[in-house]
């Protein structure tokens, strides 16, 4: 996030500043964008298949949404809604609910009702726990905690903006000499709405303020009339935040940045991801995927497996799996040594290696086979070199 992007969302003084909402939306966007790059895989007896479920979670969950929009909506509701995100199945399509009511029960399945879908469509069906996909995060009150914390920081941001406006506003004094008052101040030309006498001097000054000065002054600038014999002096001088004494947006930016850091820390997002730091970028990205993205992926994967597959299917390898290691695309040069070692010990097959590099799969049987180098023996062979594995093993 650049300084220009930050300044673009800052409201003017006197308006409600949506700093925390902006920071929270940044976190949601980062996580949902990363999750949309993950690979949503389906398996049948341990073998990866590419059927309807695979298509829906990678491309088209329903006729009106893409995978990106569904994942973004799920993450948004998991964060902002205390009850999490609710997805129902209608006509073999996955549809995200915009709002719903859940009745939590201890010994019976939870009840879901008052469900409203996209476009304000209310459905009057009542669903039980096993009929829906209910995604939640560990601490569903996180948004509430952030709002309370921001209640204190909002005053600091508003104060920083006021100081900036005050420090950069044009402040002028209009000296009024005795000759002006003698010539125009004694001649009355009428009365105002409250019945006070209006002099010709008042009319001239009003015209100057309304017409002449308005062309060069903004709403935050001011001109103060100073009669001859009077003068102003600063009792307290507000110092600028730069060496030159100027007042810049740095204080606003730093205070705003604190709010962004609070939001990032609450979701275990490295601060460098939020601010665009490039120092140690590889480690930052890995921490982001491991500690911020994978918990959301695990919540979605677990809910899908327990509701869509069940214990009997999962136990035999028929399941749903989210591969988050495809979020980071590795360059062929950096990945070459690791890929060779993993291929040599049967850790990855050729197609899996290509997937890590963001390349298309090879539609040949041999590309899905696992290979082990002949100089690797089984651990229980007691060093017998003649007891080696086959070159083709799966």
What confidence tier does 269 reach under pLDDT thresholds 50, 70, 90?
very high
Residue that wins the pLDDT comparison between 138 and 294 = 294
Residue that wins the pLDDT comparison between 96 and 176 = 96
Pairing relation of β-strands 47-49 and 39-44?
antiparallel
Q: How many whole angstroms separate alpha carbon 355 and alpha carbon 118?
A: 35
pLDDT of residue 393: 45
pLDDT of residue 197: 74
Q: How many whole angstroms separate alpha carbon 207 and alpha carbon 210?
A: 5
- Output the average pLDDT for the chain: 80
pTM across the whole model: 0.71
What confidence tier does 386 reach under pLDDT thresholds 50, 70, 90?
very low
* CB count in 10 Å sphere of residue 198: 13
List Cβ neighbours of 370 (8 Å cut-off, separation of 6 or more): 346, 348, 349, 393, 394
pLDDT in tens, 126-164: 999 999 999 998 876 777 778 777 776 677 667 666 766
pLDDT in tens, 40-78: 999 999 998 999 999 999 999 999 999 999 999 999 999
Q: What percent of the chain has pLDDT over 70?
A: 72
Q: How many whole angstroms separate alpha carbon 31 and alpha carbon 76?
A: 10
Show the DSSP H helices in the chain as ranges.
3-8, 19-36, 52-58, 67-80, 142-168, 178-184, 200-207, 250-266, 271-275, 281-287, 294-304, 310-315, 332-344, 350-356
- Half-sphere exposure (CA, 13 Å, Cβ side) for 146? 26
pLDDT of residue 390: 46
Q: How many whole angstroms separate alpha carbon 266 and alpha carbon 148?
A: 13
Phi and psi torsions of 42, nearest 5°: -125, 140
């Amino acid at each position: 996030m650049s300084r220009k992007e930050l300044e673009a969302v800052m409201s003017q003084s006197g308006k409600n500043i949506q700093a925390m909402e902006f920071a929270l939306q940044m976190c949601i966007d980062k996580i949902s964008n990363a999750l949309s790059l993950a690979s949503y895989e389906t398996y049948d007896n341990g073998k990866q298949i590419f059927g309807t479920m695979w298509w829906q979670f990678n491309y088209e969950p329903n006729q009106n949404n893409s995978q990106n929009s569904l994942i973004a909506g799920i993450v948004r509701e998991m964060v902002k809604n205390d009850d999490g995100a609710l997805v129902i199945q209608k006509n073999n399509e996955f549809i995200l609910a915009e709002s719903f009511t859940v009745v939590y029960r201890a010994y019976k399945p939870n009840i879901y009702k008052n469900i409203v879908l996209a476009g304000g469509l209310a459905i009057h069906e009542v669903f039980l726990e096993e009929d829906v996909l209910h995604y939640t995060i560990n601490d569903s009150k996180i948004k509430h905690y952030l709002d309370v914390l921001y209640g204190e920081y909002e005053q600091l941001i508003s104060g920083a903006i006021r100081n900036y406006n005050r420090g950069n506003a044009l402040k002028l004094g209009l000296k009024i000499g005795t000759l002006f008052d003698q010539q125009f101040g004694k001649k009355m030309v009428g009365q105002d709405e409250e019945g006070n006498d209006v002099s010709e001097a008042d009319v001239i000054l009003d015209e100057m303020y309304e017409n002449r000065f308005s062309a060069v002054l903004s709403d935050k600038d001011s001109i103060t009339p100073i009669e001859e014999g009077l003068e102003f002096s600063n009792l307290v001088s507000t110092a600028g935040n730069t060496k030159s004494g100027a007042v810049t947006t740095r204080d606003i930016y730093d205070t705003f940045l604190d709010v962004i850091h609070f939001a990032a820390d609450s979701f275990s997002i490295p601060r460098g991801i939020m601010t665009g730091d490039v120092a140690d970028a590889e480690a930052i990205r890995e921490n982001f995927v491991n500690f911020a993205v994978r918990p959301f992926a695990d919540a979605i994967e677990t809910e899908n497996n327990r509701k869509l597959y069940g214990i009997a299917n999962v136990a035999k390898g028929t399941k749903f799996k989210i591969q988050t290691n495809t979020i980071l695309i590795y360059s062929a040069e950096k990945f070459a040594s690791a890929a060779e070692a993993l291929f040599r010990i049967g850790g990855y097959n050729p197609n899996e290696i290509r997937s890590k590099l963001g390349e298309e799969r090879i539609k040949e049987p041999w590309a899905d086979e696992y290979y082990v180098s002949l100089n690797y023996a089984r651990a229980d062979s007691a060093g017998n070199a003649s007891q080696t594995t086959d070159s083709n093993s799966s």
